[in-house]
Amino acid sequence: MVSKRFVLKRLLLLIPVLFGVGTLVFAILQSAPGNPCRIILGQRASSQQIQQCVTDLGLNDPIWVQYVRFLGEAATFEFGDSYQIAKGTPVREVLADKLPVTIELALFGQAMGIFVGIPLGILSAVKQDTLTDQATRIGALSGISVPIYWSGPILILLLSTYLGVFPTSGRIGSTIFLDNQWYPFTILGPDRFLPAPWIGSITVAGVTLPFVEIVQLTAETPAPLTGMVTIDTLILGRFDAFGSAVHHLFLPAAVIGIYSTALISRMMRSSMLEVVRQDYMRTARAKGQGAKITVMKHGFQNALIPVITVIGIQFGSLLGGAVLTETVFGIGGIGTMLVSAIGATDYPLVQGTVLTFALLFTLVNLGVDITYSYLDPRIQQ
Amino acid sequence: MSSTEESAVDLPLSAWLRPRVRLVVGAAVVGVVAGVVATLAFFLLVHPDDLSRASARAFSLAAIALGFGVLGWSGSIFAGRGFEEMQRHLDTGTDWTEADSRRAMARISGFGAGGMVGVIVTTTVL
């Protein structure tokens, strides 16, 4: 059982982490050369126009006033409008549009790392010093050594261009059109309705809480889309589109997940080898328990703790790796946008994106902490 | 519970707080002086015609120190014990401890915050 005090302490620690990241981002952006107004208005803008833009954006204010204003905005996650990349669009909207793409890619990469890396690590440990073990270890070493900017184009060349197994770019087939109309009504007819569980909200003493209610869906009911194609296609009941989305996502996810898979399998192997030598494992076998049951029932959970730590830390690398992968595969996620925003000195967009990345990373690590304190309650001490 | 935490529970709040405040405030005082010096240096040597640019540069440097310190401090709390355990497990005696790291990072944070105050004071006076 995970104690509330432990979780609360970890949640409170998010505040200094985000404050630190925010301050660093603000300071680094302020130190960077270039005037955002010059970029917004172009090289032909008059000095009067530039001056007006600087005043409008509040860049004329003393730096500490800008800093306090930024902290206030960051506390409410309200970063204002993008200067250049998504001109005039609130940063929140830009993030809501682009972030799911990157998260989907990172999650698929992570899933690949977990579902391939853990079994490979266990297999390698159980069959120590056999051909299987040697092959897995060589594979893991290669996976760790290969950078994304090399593996991406090579896999595209091999699996897309030569073999034609996977598409080279995009998120879904070009002939598939997704709107937020529920697919079942194209079969049932638009005048029919379906009962379905729905997340509604209720306000109790000024606090809005979510709850699940049963509503009557009609063809007019807009589907609550997440921005992640694989999930949205399932919500809409478009299984053909789901297949196409997975088909398109497989290669980028594999590229981003290679390093993760290699690292997780290596970690799982060494952790499992250590656990296998423990007295309780020998005792379990001595009591007549089968080798497979001993490994999976007693060894797996204990060997998982360091692996989960690696998985949590890896998520940050996956978000970083998404920048390169999105560029190689032409996926319009937050990574490519962040690079453009830095180039255009789009302060609000860069600050909002980096803080969102930091929040995601710390939340994932909080999840990791909670998971391994569940696996081994002594960690809470 | 470690011995330092046990003794922290036994101590009255003022006694617990005093060395910590002294640590941060001491570093902040040094930071204020550094902030004043940095602003003057930027103003006199790098941007002689533009005080706001000079103060922005100095303020950014101090803010980097504060950000780094706060991030390192929270990182020490988040993962410090884990690193200590890992060092013990790997039998690598680097003498790095979570408590030392926390103190060092608190000092850097204090220095950065003091630097920011120093820049504000100098710019306002000039």
The continuous run of DSSP H or E covering A194 comes out as strand A194-204
Residue A34 φ/ψ region, left for φ over 0, alpha for ψ in the -120 to 50 degree band, beta for the rest = left
Instruction: Please list, residue by residue across A58-88, b when 16 or more beta carbons sit within 10 angstroms of its beta carbon and e when fewer do.
Output: ebeebbbebbeebeebbeeeebbbbbbbbee
Identify the pLDDT of residue A254. 87
B42-62: pLDDT as tens digits: 888 887 888 888 888 899 999
Dist. CA A104–CA B39, nearest whole Å: 46
Contact between A62 and B123 using a beta-carbon 8 Å cutoff: yes
Identify the pLDDT of residue A179. 67
Contact between B119 and A31 using a beta-carbon 8 Å cutoff: no
- With 50 as the cut, is the pLDDT of residue B36 above it? yes
**CA distance, residue A305 to nearest chain B CA (Å):** 12
Alpha helix positions (H), A279-346: 279-286, 291-293, 300-329, 334-343
Contact between A13 and B61 using a beta-carbon 8 Å cutoff: no
A256-273: pLDDT as tens digits: 888 888 888 888 888 888
Q: Count residue pairs from A and B with Cβ separation < 8 A.
A: 72
Question: What three-state secondary structure class fits B43?
Answer: helix
A192-234: pLDDT as tens digits: 777 777 777 777 777 777 777 777 777 666 666 777 888 888 8
Q: What tokens were used for A219?
A: 């063809």
Identify the pLDDT of residue A378. 66
Among A13, A22, A27, whose Cβ lies nearest the Cβ of B77? A13
Question: Per the confidence metrics, is the pTM higher than 0.90?
Answer: no
B63 touches chain A (CB under 8 A): yes
Gap between the terminal Cα atoms of chain A: 13
pLDDT band at residue A321, thresholds of 50, 70 and 90?
A: confident
Contact between A16 and B70 using a beta-carbon 8 Å cutoff: yes
- With 50 as the cut, is the pLDDT of residue A248 above it? yes
Contact between B82 and A24 using a beta-carbon 8 Å cutoff: no
The continuous run of DSSP H or E covering A288 comes out as none
A272-301: pLDDT as tens digits: 888 878 888 888 888 887 777 887 777 787
Identify the pLDDT of residue A2. 62
Report CA-CA distances (Å) from A355 to A21, A358, B19, B52.
7, 5, 33, 27
B82-110: pLDDT as tens digits: 777 777 766 676 777 888 888 999 999 99
| Phi, psi angle pair for A210, to nearest 5° | -80, 150
Round the average pLDDT of chain A to a whole number and report it. 80
Name which residue leads in pLDDT, A144 or A16.
A16
- Which residues, in sequence order, are bridge partners of residue A168? none
Chain B residues in contact with A20 (beta carbon < 8 A): 66-74
Residue B62 φ/ψ region, left for φ over 0, alpha for ψ in the -120 to 50 degree band, beta for the rest = alpha
- With 70 as the cut, is the pLDDT of residue B126 above it? yes
Tell me the ipTM for this assembly.
0.84
Question: What three-state secondary structure class fits A173?
Answer: coil
Contact between A31 and B68 using a beta-carbon 8 Å cutoff: no
Name which residue leads in pLDDT, A203 or A165.
A165
Identify the pLDDT of residue B2. 45
**Closest alpha carbon to A372 in A299, A306, A281:** A306
Question: What three-state secondary structure class fits A346?
Answer: coil
Dist. CA A27–CA A66, nearest whole Å: 11
